[in-house]
C-alpha cells in the first residue's frame, strides 16, 4: 500500500465531549426539510431546553424528494414544509424560514453567490452566536452548495461566533461530540414527522444508529451523541 506524501502517522486529537451545547442565539441552515433533524436535531432540542433562541432556515423546497412519485405532485413542496414544521415542534423550535430553492439542480457560481447573499441577510437579521451548517465534506451536491454559500457569508460578516458542521449523508471525523441521550426520543419523534422521506430511508434506524455509534467517542459507548466539526471562517471565504 502506498501512502500519500503528506501522510501523518500521528492520530488526530480526540474529539471534545460536550454534555450541553454552547449557550447563545442559534441559526441552523438546512439544505432540505429533514436535514435539520437528521444532523443537529438533538442539539437544537438541547438549545431550546436551556432557553436559547433557535431559528432554522431551509434552503430548498425538497421537491426532488419523491423520485418514485409515491405522493401527489400537487402540494408536495407544501407537504415537505408541513413535515418540517411538525418536526421542529417536537424539538421545541417555532422560528423557521423557507427559501424555496429547487433541490437536486446543477449549481452555478451565480447560485452560490445568491445563497451567500441570503445567508448574509439571515446572519445580519438574527445575529447568531452559534451557526449549524452541513460540514464541508458532505457528498450531496445541495449540502455542499449550502455549506459553501453559508461559509462565504460567515467570512464576509467576519463572524466571530462558533460555526459547527453537521453530518447527514457523509460521516465526519469529529472535533466535538454532544450527548443528546436526554432528547433522543424527541429526535426520534421529529424524524417520524418526515413521512415522505421515511418511505425511502429508515432514518430512525440509520441516524439514531449513527448517533449511538458516536457514543464511542465519549469513551463510554452508551447513549446517543451527535458529532460536529468546527468550520473555520477565514479570509478566503470573505472574497
| 3-class secondary-structure state, position 81 | helix
Question: 14 in a domain, yes or no?
Answer: no
pLDDT at residue 234 in the model: 60
Question: Looking at the chain, how many residues does it have?
Answer: 239
Question: 212 in a domain, yes or no?
Answer: yes
Q: Which domain holds residue 54?
A: 23-238
CATH of the domain at 198: 3.40.50.10320
| 3-class secondary-structure state, position 18 | strand
Provide the domain count of the chain.
Answer: 1
Question: 62 in a domain, yes or no?
Answer: yes
Instruction: Say if residue 186's pLDDT is above 70.
Output: yes
| 53: exposed, middle or buried (Cβ count in 10 Å: 0-12, 13-18, 19+) | middle
pLDDT above 70 coverage of the chain, percent: 97
Phi-psi region of 18 (alpha: psi -120 to 50; beta: other; left: phi over 0): beta
| 75: exposed, middle or buried (Cβ count in 10 Å: 0-12, 13-18, 19+) | exposed
Question: 8 in a domain, yes or no?
Answer: no
Beta bridge partners of 178: 18, 226
Report, as an integer, the average pLDDT of 157-181. 97
pLDDT at residue 191 in the model: 98
Q: Which DSSP state fits 217? A: G
Residues contacting 174, CB < 8 A, separation 6+: 15, 214, 217, 227, 228, 229
pLDDT at residue 70 in the model: 95
Instruction: Say if residue 80's pLDDT is above 80.
Output: yes
Question: 9 in a domain, yes or no?
Answer: no
Report, as an integer, the average pLDDT of 140-165. 96
Alpha-carbon Rg of the chain, whole angstroms? 17
pLDDT 10s digits, 22-43:
999 999 999 999 999 999 999 9
Instruction: Say if residue 50's pLDDT is above 80.
Output: yes
| 3-class secondary-structure state, position 127 | coil
d(C-alpha 42, C-alpha 178), whole Å: 9
pLDDT 10s digits, 112-152:
899 999 999 999 999 999 999 999 999 999 999 999 999 99
pLDDT at residue 140 in the model: 94
Q: DSSP letter string over 163-207?
A: EEEE-SSS----SEEEE-GGGHHHHHHHHHT-HHHHTT--HHHHH
Instruction: Say if residue 9's pLDDT is above 50.
Output: yes
Which tops the pLDDT comparison, 237 or 158?
158
Question: 17 in a domain, yes or no?
Answer: no
Instruction: Please give the mean pLDDT across all residues of the chain.
Output: 93
Question: 5 in a domain, yes or no?
Answer: no
* Per-state percent for the chain, helix, strand, coil, to nearest 5: 40, 20, 40
pLDDT at residue 235 in the model: 45
Instruction: Say if residue 239's pLDDT is above 90.
Output: no
The Cβ-side half-sphere exposure at 205, using a 13 Å CA radius, reads 6
Which tops the pLDDT comparison, 33 or 13?
33
pLDDT at residue 237 in the model: 43
Question: 104 in a domain, yes or no?
Answer: yes
Instruction: Say if residue 238's pLDDT is above 50.
Output: no
Report, as an integer, the average pLDDT of 180-184. 98
pLDDT at residue 236 in the model: 43
pTM value is: 0.93
CA distances from residue 37 to 41, 71, 201 in whole angstroms, order as listed: 4, 22, 14
d(C-alpha 29, C-alpha 144), whole Å: 12
Amino acid at each position: 500500500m502506498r501512502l500519500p506524501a503528506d501522510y501523518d502517522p500521528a492520530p488526530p486529537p480526540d474529539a471534545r465531549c460536550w454534555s450541553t451545547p454552547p449557550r447563545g442565539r442559534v441559526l441552523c441552515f438546512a439544505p432540505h426539510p429533514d436535514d435539520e433533524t437528521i444532523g443537529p436535531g438533538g442539539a437544537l432540542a438541547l438549545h431550546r431546553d436551556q432557553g436559547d433562541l433557535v431559528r432554522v432556515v431551509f434552503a430548498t423546497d425538497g421537491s426532488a424528494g419523491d423520485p418514485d412519485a409515491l405522493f401527489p405532485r400537487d402540494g408536495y413542496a407544501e407537504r415537505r414544509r408541513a413535515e418540517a414544521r411538525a418536526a421542529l415542534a417536537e424539538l421545541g423550535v417555532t422560528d423557521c424560514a423557507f427559501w424555496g430553492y429547487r433541490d437536486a439542480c446543477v449549481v452555478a457560481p451565480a447560485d452560490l453567490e445568491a445563497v451567500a447573499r441570503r445567508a448574509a441577510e439571515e446572519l445580519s437579521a438574527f445575529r447568531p452566536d452559534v451557526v449549524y451548517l452541513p460540514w464541508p465534506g458532505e457528498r450531496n451536491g445541495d449540502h455542499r452548495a449550502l455549506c459553501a454559500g453559508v461559509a462565504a457569508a460567515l467570512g464576509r460578516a467576519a463572524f466571530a461566533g462558533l460555526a459547527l458542521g453537521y453530518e447527514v449523508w457523509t460521516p465526519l471525523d469529529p472535533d466535538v461530540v454532544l450527548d443528546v441521550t436526554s432528547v433522543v426520543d424527541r429526535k426520534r419523534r421529529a424524524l417520524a414527522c418526515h413521512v415522505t422521506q421515511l418511505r425511502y430511508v429508515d432514518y430512525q434506524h440509520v441516524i439514531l444508529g449513527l448517533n449511538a455509534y458516536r457514543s464511542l467517542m465519549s469513551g463510554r459507548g452508551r447513549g446517543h451523541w451527535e458529532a460536529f466539526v468546527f468550520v473555520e471562517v477565514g479570509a478566503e471565504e470573505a472574497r
